[in-house]
Chain A
């Protein structure tokens, strides 16, 4: 520890801080740090505690609160006041701390989220957020709560519309705002009742009556998130860590001739500068696309690719040093569009060297079943249309962040990731160390949606630098960097033909698809297949074929995003179905009902369909929306549309072929009766930790408070492949169920041995284990005494291995899943025919999730999916100018606010899947698919125009309306 600092004012802009230490009674001058930036002593009374600290003259309040005072409950999501995550109270009024100079409020009283709960417990609004399921990833929660509290201080009796308005500057990407608004509204209502003397109902959060499965409950960590106490990657303060900043390419395609780092290295506080050649090993999430290095080595392939990384004592110094690095580039021809990349490139250089052809095609995927030509001949009505889709970013609110360090155990990295397992593999490969020397820890993660599902350059770079400098190294990307890192939904275009007979039976589907992959492979090979294969359901099709081409372009890479691969092609097909229905004058719901696949059947491409709630889903939304009386019958400009979809419930095949189970879950019970669940599954806000606890509680018949979940730490938890392809509930859930059953057997056997009651006659329920005749009737702890006697803690393992599925042809593995989810949406829109503006009034959604293990969480997933789908449909797009992303922030990338979100009516359809845990299957991705075409089809119902381009811009709608009217006249 430093004994004291001596501040020496040398000249106005520089302070030299000399740190002195004692050693054997001698005073040793130890270190000397120069501050270029003048600082001032400031005092803040934060949550009742006085802090007198040195504050930078241009330092923002969020930085002081998070990094100097250490209250990391205040989050920073955009650094420009567009997302609201940083909201705190200053002198009892809310401010956005990321754009508030700290010195403005020298001497002020500040309340952060950590100061909202008191010794008596959570604030009632925090409790409401918890109870209502308003908290998913939890990253927006502190800001959302602070904003709501401030608003309620000024307006204690608001209407729902006023609540929506009040929260419209706080971005949430998980919930679709519905449960947040409900939480605030219910709080208000309760307060109003209370003022008339009626006591509030207190809901016990851990109350379990008989069963665990099927009871809606908050996430197990929800109260922690509500208080700002959950630590996300950038909240970890590992001592003595260096900060890393990146120098990024300014050219889309350029040879790197020279990188000069001398000037930057000379800057005081710079500790290391890494360049590409130091980490030459390639990586990528798929074994077949190991095409990326952590930094560009010989050439850069997109604007924003990392060229050098600076590690320094502070972020500011690292940033300044980046500006001092000189890179000499020689530009080469860039390829920015699908057309550029499909064509022969002549004597120019390809983006990647491999590949047989002289173009930039990365992957061609084609599968054909039946005979499409015959099918087209047979069809009495054919609809053929071309569609175009812009790229979409995940828009999770927590930016990528990580800290890495090396010690006697090798590398440890704490990082915001969805795939600890694949990251462990990528780090071992790129660092060239055994897998056993890599520990990946996933802290709380502020949303992923596929965007944290690859190993990332920044993770590899900080691991490398940490090894070089023998110090912890941290990084937190800016929002601009998050957008440039991308891995989002592919921009795509497609031409699809769909044919049917006049009775409405679908005869043929043929799709020709091209997707723009950006500079690297990522999940792209899978995306290429998913665009096609995921069209073979939910309708029966005998003549089905597709061809997808994925190209490399000199833009940030695309990868997996919620609803992976099939969102755009699903939009196209559902639009075509609507068109055919119109052509044969049939209700589009009736047409769909005629064509749905049954349960327990095979698709043309050999997908095994087990449970299938398509019919129930569409009937539910038809009934709720009063479809029969409204569709085709509303006034001009007002319409209803329907869309359907389906999705895999976990990929049956692992990304890296091996014989490990897809999921393994360990349980340990010790003398204290607590069951420790360890699982490699990555909870990124979707609630998988809670799901595991529910399953274990259900099988063992015990209360949730006896269960502790430790997840996603590659040292401590068994392998789970990660949170992608909507696999966790089905696979990790089944593994947890299997493990719980194994533990139950262990306990039952031990009791049976002691009591002579057969093990299979013992009932586990209500925290007790008993026989029907009550000759055995043990409390949980008494049972644990028996099973641990002379043995100690009992550990068991459970696993999930997918059954062998699929056909015997190349490409048969794509989209195989042990189960599929199904769903439908009806959207109601109003189109302003003078401006082309489309307002979504209502969305009714229904999704077959097999069995809702936690209905509250399932609703949250569905509402979040629908909201995200609406964003893509209505306003979101990644706009490029010469390969440079133009809208790289939350102001210009248009995620719908609470005011842009319509009424969402959520319906859970339960079909009890035969192989899912307690019948459950996925609910986090598939629900997204139907909502986009439902909106487009509603616009058709309203004004008779077909939408073939997303996002649906007012100007395009207006133009189409004009064209249609011109034809009419």
Chain B
């Protein structure tokens, strides 16, 4: 029997959360849908109820509140550049956003969707039939990780390009669910478990991404991918230097979660890079080999640090 399929279009956050709780365990929020819907077609997510939040005006605002910039989660990657304050204060975010997918996808894909983008793996982002043929990996209820040849942990890649930049800028996010609103560090929502890569409550809505305006940053962003458009990242690095001398190295695409190393301008820079490499669990689930991605991580981080110190 084919399950009942539902499509709901809430017009407020409260309504979206209510719908989510009504269909708990069998729903999915859809913002741009560029990631969620493709996964759904492939049977990665067998979900009957789509809650389309793309029409909630409260989620589309970009505003300055005292010393904070609030970017509504539904702001599309393309439209970020329309906001002068982002261009002025966080140009690396615009660069990162422009490096995501292709222009047409960026018109629909949202920044909220990008930071909550599902982890990817060559052995997971496949059709139902394909995954049956390969013998189902851990991330789809199998017993082992196929990419690593049998490990008991999932190493699906964290692939957001904007999140590493946002984390390097000390971004917080505002989450709303039935219990109200809470603000957490963006970095803190990523679990490092490839199977369940985020610890955001299923029924919660990401409302805002909050960036500090009282601190100034210089950020170097780099991305490795085979083609200059369309491709998900093979390696993303964002290295920031803040006006108070803090250095932050963030690596995406090389671990189930963004790898974050904090340090200071006066610290042992080599040591930071070593730490980042040590913390990244890179496996062969990408166009490029594990070794190459590690080599490039080192290079990108070194170059970024050098550029910042120039």
Tell me how far the C-beta of B274 lies from the nearest C-beta in chain A, rounded to whole angstroms: 19
The answer to whether A632 has its CB under 8 Å from any CB of chain B is no
A165 with B296: CB separation less than 8 A: no
A480 with B127: CB separation less than 8 A: yes
A103 with B52: CB separation less than 8 A: yes
A169 with B291: CB separation less than 8 A: no
Tell me how far the C-beta of B204 lies from the nearest C-beta in chain A, rounded to whole angstroms: 22
Give the chain B neighbours of A81 by CB distance below 8 A: 34, 38, 101, 104-105
A875 with B226: CB separation less than 8 A: yes
A955 with B52: CB separation less than 8 A: no
Known A93-B107, A900-B228: A101·B33 in contact at CB below 8 Å: yes
B134 with A82: CB separation less than 8 A: no
Give the chain B neighbours of A170 by CB distance below 8 A: 102, 104
The answer to whether B190 has its CB under 8 Å from any CB of chain A is no
Give the chain B neighbours of A498 by CB distance below 8 A: none
Give the chain A neighbours of B241 by CB distance below 8 A: none
Per the 8 Å Cβ criterion, residues 110-139 of B in contact with A are: 122-123, 126-127, 129-130, 132-134
B230 with A36: CB separation less than 8 A: no
Name the one of A56, A151, A480, A894 contacting B130, with C-beta atoms under 8 angstroms. Answer: A480
Interface string of A79-120 (1 = CB under 8 A from B): 111101001000001111001110110000000000000000
Interface centre among B132, B227, B231, by most A CB within 10 Å?
B227
The answer to whether A891 has its CB under 8 Å from any CB of chain B is yes
The answer to whether A40 has its CB under 8 Å from any CB of chain B is yes
Give the chain A neighbours of B3 by CB distance below 8 A: 13, 36
Interface string of B1-20 (1 = CB under 8 A from A): 11111110100000000000
The answer to whether B168 has its CB under 8 Å from any CB of chain A is no
A147 with B34: CB separation less than 8 A: no
Tell me how far the C-beta of A398 lies from the nearest C-beta in chain B, rounded to whole angstroms: 19
Known A99-B34, A894-B287: A303·B133 in contact at CB below 8 Å: yes
Per the 8 Å Cβ criterion, residues 147-203 of A in contact with B are: 147, 150-151, 165-166, 168-170
B292 with A958: CB separation less than 8 A: yes
A884 with B102: CB separation less than 8 A: no
Tell me how far the C-beta of B106 lies from the nearest C-beta in chain A, rounded to whole angstroms: 9
Give the chain A neighbours of B289 by CB distance below 8 A: 955
B230 with A168: CB separation less than 8 A: yes
Please, which residue of chain B has its CB at the minimum distance from the CB of A252?
B133
Please, which residue of chain A has its CB at the minimum distance from the CB of B132?
A250
Please, which residue of chain B has its CB at the minimum distance from the CB of A104?
B52
Interface centre among A81, A94, A480, A886, by most B CB within 10 Å?
A81
Tell me how far the C-beta of A240 lies from the nearest C-beta in chain B, rounded to whole angstroms: 23
Give the chain A neighbours of B41 by CB distance below 8 A: 79-80
Please, which residue of chain B has its CB at the minimum distance from the CB of A167?
B103
The answer to whether B26 has its CB under 8 Å from any CB of chain A is no
Give the chain A neighbours of B102 by CB distance below 8 A: 82, 84, 168-170, 897
Give the chain A neighbours of B103 by CB distance below 8 A: 147, 151, 165-166, 168-169
Per the 8 Å Cβ criterion, residues 217-252 of B in contact with A are: 224, 226-232
Tell me how far the C-beta of A233 lies from the nearest C-beta in chain B, rounded to whole angstroms: 22
Known A101-B30, A169-B230, A897-B229: A888·B104 in contact at CB below 8 Å: no
The answer to whether A742 has its CB under 8 Å from any CB of chain B is no
Please, which residue of chain A has its CB at the minimum distance from the CB of B296?
A835
The answer to whether A706 has its CB under 8 Å from any CB of chain B is no
B292 with A899: CB separation less than 8 A: no
Known A40-B7, A94-B104: A897·B230 in contact at CB below 8 Å: yes
Known A40-B7, A248-B129: A84·B52 in contact at CB below 8 Å: no
Give the chain A neighbours of B231 by CB distance below 8 A: 891, 894
The answer to whether B108 has its CB under 8 Å from any CB of chain A is yes
Tell me how far the C-beta of A528 lies from the nearest C-beta in chain B, rounded to whole angstroms: 29
The answer to whether A58 has its CB under 8 Å from any CB of chain B is yes
Please, which residue of chain B has its CB at the minimum distance from the CB of A84?
B104
B7 with A897: CB separation less than 8 A: no
Kindly state the separation between the CA atoms of A60 and B37 in the bound complex, as whole angstroms.
10
Kindly state the separation between the CA atoms of A165 and B122 in the bound complex, as whole angstroms.
27
Please, which residue of chain A has its CB at the minimum distance from the CB of B122?
A886
Kindly state the separation between the CA atoms of A896 and B229 in the bound complex, as whole angstroms.
9
Kindly state the separation between the CA atoms of A703 and B287 in the bound complex, as whole angstroms.
53
Per the 8 Å Cβ criterion, residues 941-966 of A in contact with B are: 953-955, 958
Interface string of A868-880 (1 = CB under 8 A from B): 0000000100000
The answer to whether B295 has its CB under 8 Å from any CB of chain A is yes
Tell me how far the C-beta of B253 lies from the nearest C-beta in chain A, rounded to whole angstroms: 15
Kindly state the separation between the CA atoms of A12 and B3 in the bound complex, as whole angstroms.
10
The answer to whether B280 has its CB under 8 Å from any CB of chain A is no
Tell me how far the C-beta of B16 lies from the nearest C-beta in chain A, rounded to whole angstroms: 14
Please, which residue of chain A has its CB at the minimum distance from the CB of B293?
A955
B288 with A104: CB separation less than 8 A: no
B7 with A58: CB separation less than 8 A: yes
The answer to whether A278 has its CB under 8 Å from any CB of chain B is no
Please, which residue of chain B has its CB at the minimum distance from the CB of A248?
B129
The answer to whether A37 has its CB under 8 Å from any CB of chain B is yes
B6 with A888: CB separation less than 8 A: no
A897 with B34: CB separation less than 8 A: no
Name the one of B7, B55, B105, B123 contacting A169, with C-beta atoms under 8 angstroms. Answer: B105
Interface string of B50-92 (1 = CB under 8 A from A): 1010110000000000000000000000000000000000000
B122 with A95: CB separation less than 8 A: no
Kindly state the separation between the CA atoms of A40 and B122 in the bound complex, as whole angstroms.
36
The answer to whether A354 has its CB under 8 Å from any CB of chain B is no
A955 with B4: CB separation less than 8 A: no
Interface string of B289-305 (1 = CB under 8 A from A): 10110011001000000
Interface centre among B40, B129, B146, by most A CB within 10 Å?
B129
Kindly state the separation between the CA atoms of A251 and B133 in the bound complex, as whole angstroms.
7
Kindly state the separation between the CA atoms of A492 and B142 in the bound complex, as whole angstroms.
34
Kindly state the separation between the CA atoms of A82 and B232 in the bound complex, as whole angstroms.
11
The answer to whether A277 has its CB under 8 Å from any CB of chain B is no
Please, which residue of chain B has its CB at the minimum distance from the CB of A247?
B129
B108 with A95: CB separation less than 8 A: yes
B288 with A955: CB separation less than 8 A: yes
Interface string of A214-255 (1 = CB under 8 A from B): 000000000000000000000000000000000010110000
The answer to whether A672 has its CB under 8 Å from any CB of chain B is no
B50 with A250: CB separation less than 8 A: no
B296 with A169: CB separation less than 8 A: no
B5 with A953: CB separation less than 8 A: no
B133 with A104: CB separation less than 8 A: no
Please, which residue of chain B has its CB at the minimum distance from the CB of A879?
B122
The answer to whether A881 has its CB under 8 Å from any CB of chain B is yes
Give the chain B neighbours of A104 by CB distance below 8 A: 9, 33, 52, 54-55
B107 with A891: CB separation less than 8 A: no
Known A82-B230, A891-B232, A900-B227: A37·B9 in contact at CB below 8 Å: no
A320 with B2: CB separation less than 8 A: yes
Kindly state the separation between the CA atoms of A82 and B105 in the bound complex, as whole angstroms.
9
Kindly state the separation between the CA atoms of A36 and B1 in the bound complex, as whole angstroms.
8
Please, which residue of chain B has its CB at the minimum distance from the CB of A882?
B134
Can you identify 15 A-B contacts, CB atoms within 8 angstroms? A36-B1, A58-B40, A84-B104, A99-B34, A101-B33, A104-B9, A169-B230, A170-B102, A316-B2, A835-B296, A881-B123, A886-B122, A886-B126, A887-B122, A894-B231
Apart from A36-B4, A890-B230: 11 A-B pairs, beta carbons within 8 A? A13-B4, A38-B6, A94-B104, A101-B30, A168-B228, A478-B127, A884-B130, A888-B126, A888-B130, A955-B292, A958-B292
5 cross-chain pairs, A with B, having the tightest CB-CB distances, nearest first: A169-B102, A13-B4, A168-B229, A955-B292, A250-B133
